[in-house]
Structure 1
Amino acid sequence: MRFRVGLHKLTILTIFFSAILSAIGIGMPILHAVEHNPIKLGVMGGDEEDVWKIAVDIASKQGLHIELVPFSDYSIINEALSAGDIDANAMQHKPYFDAQLAQHGYKLSIIGHTALFPIGVYSRKVKNLDELRDGAIIGIPDDPSNEGRALQIMAQAGLITLKTPNAILATPLDIKDNPKKLKFQEMNSGIVGRAIADFDAVIVNNTWITSSGINPDKELIALEKIENNPYDNIIVVRTEDVTKPWAKKLVAAYQNDSVRNKLQHIFGKTFATSW
């Protein structure tokens, strides 16, 4: 075949012409546009994944291909990122991230914020927390990202006290006083809301409300305050990738009116953004 070019020769030619184009000021944007594609982004399955699908479409128009990788377990997201299984994650708040870095020494960095999703207490048996009976059974998320928040709501309501009042990663073992002898049943964060009929109350992250079949207008009995709330969710990458062009595009794909409109459609007034 007279027109076949060996791989070695083709590589040399590519480098040669690239050098010429660079010398005369003409770049090769097409090659650079696909250099880091696709970007594997770890997200929590459910409503948050649906919001990110809007960002994926926006990013694709800017030459960035994002592959969403849904997770159901918060405890492995930073390990997966550190190991290189994904390129970024967007499914944790800063207090949890800080605790993870202190515990494991991951070389990860924050490149942007997504949204704050307040955690709430829901019930089909009582209208407010004061009505909870002695020995009431409360369903709470079992992941370290949200379990501490769930107990903090109960502590702020005066129903329990914690050994360390501001403990971010508190568990039922950290409860000091429990006058009503409330019982806390740990469950997967994506399942606990669906079991609302089996409990006196459940504490559910806002991102799981829709898929859990909960009606917040009728079943919400307490909600985490948005003001001065430290649990703003973040976008995280390996520290070595902070300055990569795709990192900036990833943040921009989320921080825009199209995504905010989707957030409004799903979460109504129970979310907030810092951008």
Structure 2
Amino acid sequence: MKTLKIIALSTLLSSSIFAGDLKVGATPVPAAEILEFAKPILAKQGVNLIVQSFTDYVTPDISLNEGSSDANLYQHKPFLDKMNKDRGFSLVAIKPIYIVPLGFYSKKYKSIAEIKDKSTIALPNDPTNYSRALILLNDNGLIKLKDPSNLDSTEFDIIENPKKLKFKQVEAAMLPKVLDGIDAAVINANYALQAGMSLKQAFFHENGKSIYTNVLAARKDNEDNPDIKKLTKVLSSKEVKNFILKKYKGEIIPVE
């Protein structure tokens, strides 16, 4: 009888220790840093936030879909929609949290006017950010797209390319590393920050009105998880918004 009581007590303690664990996937900068800031706030509400760090854009959604993560924070809504369509996932955007602007960078040139004909521009190789990068180039006059509102634009949709620019698709995380050996690149601000680069170094970049707002995402079957709701509230709080503004000095923009 005593043994049964010990086992029952052990089971109760074990379940209480692990109750409230919330595993959230994120890329290192800024998502993981924002979540780490939110961690002690959530702890006071009985939620043990476990931040899972990923270095690419695909694995976090795979982990979430498989149930290895409860939620994630790193991607914008168009990317999430594309992953759902291409891979048959049922992931949902819970709430927009911040914007990570795309910027146009070059170490070889100091201005757009200096860029020579037939220069090679590196772009993110994931479909949504690839199209997004082309739209950014269109909006700043380097190329002209048939329909700049088409979020699935490709090089085949370019109708004017006065400098005859060439485009090379590169994994987003690798873009800062290839910048030394290429004419220019369109880089996501999170990877630029990881590489010690600033949005101020970009020749041009997206603004706060971008539709590419990074969202907290979950599976459809757990979007009503009380702990995810607590996380959503904390990430939307003035405290977290002030942290983003102070930490990233306008490089990352919190959603109003």
Runs of 4+ aligned residues of structure 1 deviating over 6 Å after TM superposition are: 30-33
- Distance apart, 1:53 and its partner CA: 0.9
Q: Secondary structure at the match of 1:155?
A: helix
Aligned equivalents of 1:167 and 1:72: distance in 2?
28
Question: What is the CA deviation profile of residues 218-255 of structure 1, one whole-angstrom value per residue up to 9, with x for unaligned ones?
Answer: x220111322x211111111112122211111112322
The equivalent residue for 1:268 is 249
The equivalent residue for 1:4 is 2
Where does the alignment leave 5 or more consecutive residues of structure 2 unmatched? none
- Distance apart, 1:172 and its partner CA: 4.1
The equivalent residue for 2:150 is 167
Question: What is the CA deviation profile of residues 162-188 of structure 1, one whole-angstrom value per residue up to 9, with x for unaligned ones?
Answer: 455333244445545433221222222
The equivalent residue for 2:205 is 223
Could you say if the C-alpha distance between residues 56 and 119 of structure 1 is closer, same or farther in structure 2, counting changes exceeding 3 Å?
A: same
- Distance apart, 1:85 and its partner CA: 1.8
The amino acid that maps onto 1:100 is M
The amino acid that maps onto 1:6 is L
Could you say if the C-alpha distance between residues 242 and 200 of structure 1 is closer, same or farther in structure 2, counting changes exceeding 3 Å?
A: same
The equivalent residue for 1:83 is 66
The equivalent residue for 2:40 is 57
User: Which deviates the most, 169-178 or 112-121?
Assistant: 169-178
Aligned equivalents of 2:47 and 2:255: distance in 1?
24
The equivalent residue for 1:22 is none
- Scaled by the length of structure 1, the TM-score of the pair is 0.80
Could you say if the C-alpha distance between residues 71 and 175 of structure 1 is closer, same or farther in structure 2, counting changes exceeding 3 Å?
A: farther
Aligned equivalents of 2:155 and 2:224: distance in 1?
41
Q: Secondary structure at the match of 2:58?
A: helix
Map 1:224-239 onto structure 2 (within 5 A): 224-227=206-209, 229-239=210-220
The amino acid that maps onto 1:143 is D
The equivalent residue for 2:21 is 38
Q: Is the 8 A contact 1:110 1:235 kept in 2?
A: yes
The count of aligned residue pairs is 254
Structure of greater Rg: 1
Aligned residues with identical type, % of pairs: 27
1:251 to 223, 232, 249: 232
Q: Secondary structure at the match of 1:114?
A: strand
Where does the alignment leave 5 or more consecutive residues of structure 1 unmatched? 15-29
Question: What is the CA deviation profile of residues 133-179 of structure 1, one whole-angstrom value per residue up to 9, with x for unaligned ones?
Answer: 10112122222342221111112223223455333244445545433
Q: Is 2:225 the partner of 1:241? A: no
The amino acid that maps onto 2:78 is P
- Distance apart, 1:32 and its partner CA: 8.8
Could you say if the C-alpha distance between residues 193 and 10 of structure 1 is closer, same or farther in structure 2, counting changes exceeding 3 Å?
A: closer
User: Which deviates the most, 242-251 or 120-129?
Assistant: 120-129
Q: Is the 8 A contact 2:244 2:254 kept in 1?
A: no
Could you say if the C-alpha distance between residues 144 and 66 of structure 1 is closer, same or farther in structure 2, counting changes exceeding 3 Å?
A: farther
Aligned equivalents of 1:64 and 1:111: distance in 2?
18
Could you say if the C-alpha distance between residues 6 and 96 of structure 1 is closer, same or farther in structure 2, counting changes exceeding 3 Å?
A: same
User: Which deviates the most, 61-70 or 30-39?
Assistant: 30-39
Could you say if the C-alpha distance between residues 163 and 104 of structure 1 is closer, same or farther in structure 2, counting changes exceeding 3 Å?
A: farther
